[in-house]
Amino acid sequence: MQGRRDFMKTAMYSSLVLGFSSILTACSGLKRRDVPVCAKEKDLSSGLDAKTRNILYYASLAPSGHNCQPWRVRIEDRQTWVVEADLNRQLAVVDPQNRELLLSLGAFVQNLCLAAGRMGLAAEPQVIAKSRHDRDVLRIKLHKARVSNYPLQRMKKRRTVKNGYLAKEIAAADIKVLTEHLPENIFYFPRGSKHASCIAEAAVENYRLQTYRDEAQKELVKWLRLSDRQAAKHRDGLSTEGMEIQGLKGWFVRHFVKSKDFLKKSYRKQGIDLMSNLANQGGGWLIVTSQGQTVSDLINTGRSFESMALLARECGIGIHPMTQMLEEKEGLRHIAEEHNDGFHPQFVLRVGYLEKYPEPVSLRRPVEWFAYQPLNS
Ligand SMILES: Cc1cc2nc3c(=O)[nH]c(=O)nc-3n(C[C@H](O)[C@H](O)[C@H](O)COP(=O)(O)O)c2cc1C
């Protein structure tokens, strides 16, 4: 009798657990681990050799504004690749001067060099763009070298994190780790400091200004991938998981909300409320500046930023770029008033310790969608 009762109890418990976990699974949107690295089997016959594919796969894990992945790679021959700006992926409204596009290409190139090194190739990038609007941005020369011991996992594990930051200052030892790649071009303002409060206020205010700038909001809407079907089709842009809209709310948005609903007043207001909440979470702010404003300056800053971002997870620190103050006229005017001419902020980053570091979720296009061999090669 006792055995039968135990059996019934276990059966009921298991079905409850199973039922609950399937509800939770149904509530989560498409994540990076849910999509295959290659788009389709036929893509494997695209002519790219395995090493090239692999290096470019790691490069593509780099961050980019709106996850627009503004890169293309022209494989001229085994030793010569050209990294192009994908001019169809520019954010013409919020980034008319391609500042963020070039920072994102810098991050892409940093991953590319690190991955190539791990695979026994030295990658030597040379900036070839004369202006910020050129298509051909860098030529990469590759040659055989000693295999580096860089842990590739860092690229797979890096992600942007927006929520769940602890109200705790970043320890000096961690700041040292994060800033070792750009010690002269990075400034930390701990939570509670006057500067940190000013940055938080400006971040929210410029987010608000941008939210009510219709063209900027319409551009953002183009990069929303709310349903799983859209996310799987494009494998770029902002999915519910990427925006950290999770649980039942995420499920609702994926099934019932249309991208253009984000233009409604109530949605804009919700976004602003969320940002003001986030801006006050965390351990403070990091401002990354560049030496100058040339294409090379932006590529180098993107590379250094990525080197830092790749180390953040091991310190248990989340990084959240909040870029609107570098995109809105009002934010730029305010910065120019308060600083001298040589001050070129390129990243405004909210940082904070996380109790549990989430896995990466934002999607990436398969290599074959952005790498190509010219017909005459
Ligand atoms: C130049 C640049 C600007 C960015 N600006 C913002 C921003 O203002 N707000 C935000 O939430 N994320 C911002 N991001 C982060 C991207 O949205 C993120 O990298 C992208 O969605 C891919 O996600 P992942 O970093 O988790 O791989 C920015 C990233 C870059 C490289």
Q: Is the CB of 211 inside a 6 Å radius of any atom of ligand 1?
A: no
How does pLDDT run across 225-243, given as a tens digit for each residue?
999 999 999 999 999 999 9
- Mean pLDDT score of the chain: 93
The confidence score (pLDDT) of residue 8 equals 61
Ligand 1 nearest atom to the CA of residue 63, by list position: 19
Distance CA 217, CA 231 (A): 19
Q: Is the CB of 100 inside a 6 Å radius of any atom of ligand 1?
A: yes
Q: What is the strand order of the sheet 186-190 is part of?
A: 186-190, 284-289, 345-353, 317-321
CA of 14 to the centre of ligand 1 (A): 40
Q: How many helices (H) and strands (E) does the chain have?
A: 13, 11
Which residue puts its alpha carbon closest to atom 13 of ligand 1? 321
The confidence score (pLDDT) of residue 60 equals 98
Tell me the pLDDT band of 36, cut-offs 50, 70 and 90: confident
Distance CA 141, CA 163 (A): 40
- CA neighbours closer than 13 Å in the CB half-sphere of residue 41: 0
* Angle, helix 2-27 to helix 247-256, in steps of 10 degrees: 50
Ligand 1 nearest atom to the CA of residue 362, by list position: 23
Ligand 1 nearest atom to the CA of residue 322, by list position: 8
CA of 13 to the centre of ligand 1 (A): 42
Q: Is the CB of 322 inside a 6 Å radius of any atom of ligand 1?
A: yes
Q: Is the CB of 159 inside a 6 Å radius of any atom of ligand 1?
A: yes
Average pLDDT of the segment spanning 335-364: 96
CB 329 within 8 A of CB 210: no
CA of 323 to the centre of ligand 1 (A): 9
The confidence score (pLDDT) of residue 17 equals 47
Which two structure tokens, joined as six digits, stand for 222? 């183009």
Is residue 15 pLDDT above 70, yes or no?
A: no
Which residue puts its alpha carbon closest to atom 1 of ligand 1? 100
How does pLDDT run across 268-326, given as a tens digit for each residue?
999 999 999 999 999 999 999 999 999 999 999 999 999 999 999 999 999 999 999 99
CA distances from 375 to 51, 140, 307 (A): 21, 19, 35
Which two structure tokens, joined as six digits, stand for 89? 């992926």
User: Any idea which residue has 């590379």 for tokens?
Assistant: 303
Which two structure tokens, joined as six digits, stand for 115? 């991955």
Distance CA 219, CA 217 (A): 5
Buried b (16+ CB within 10 A) or exposed e, 271-290: bbebbbebbbbbbbbbbbbb
The residues, any chain, with a CB within 8 Å of residue 119's CB and separated by 6 or more, are 51, 54, 55, 147
CB 271 within 8 A of CB 211: yes
How does pLDDT run across 41-76, given as a tens digit for each residue?
555 556 899 999 999 999 999 999 999 999 999 999
Q: Is the CB of 242 inside a 6 Å radius of any atom of ligand 1?
A: yes
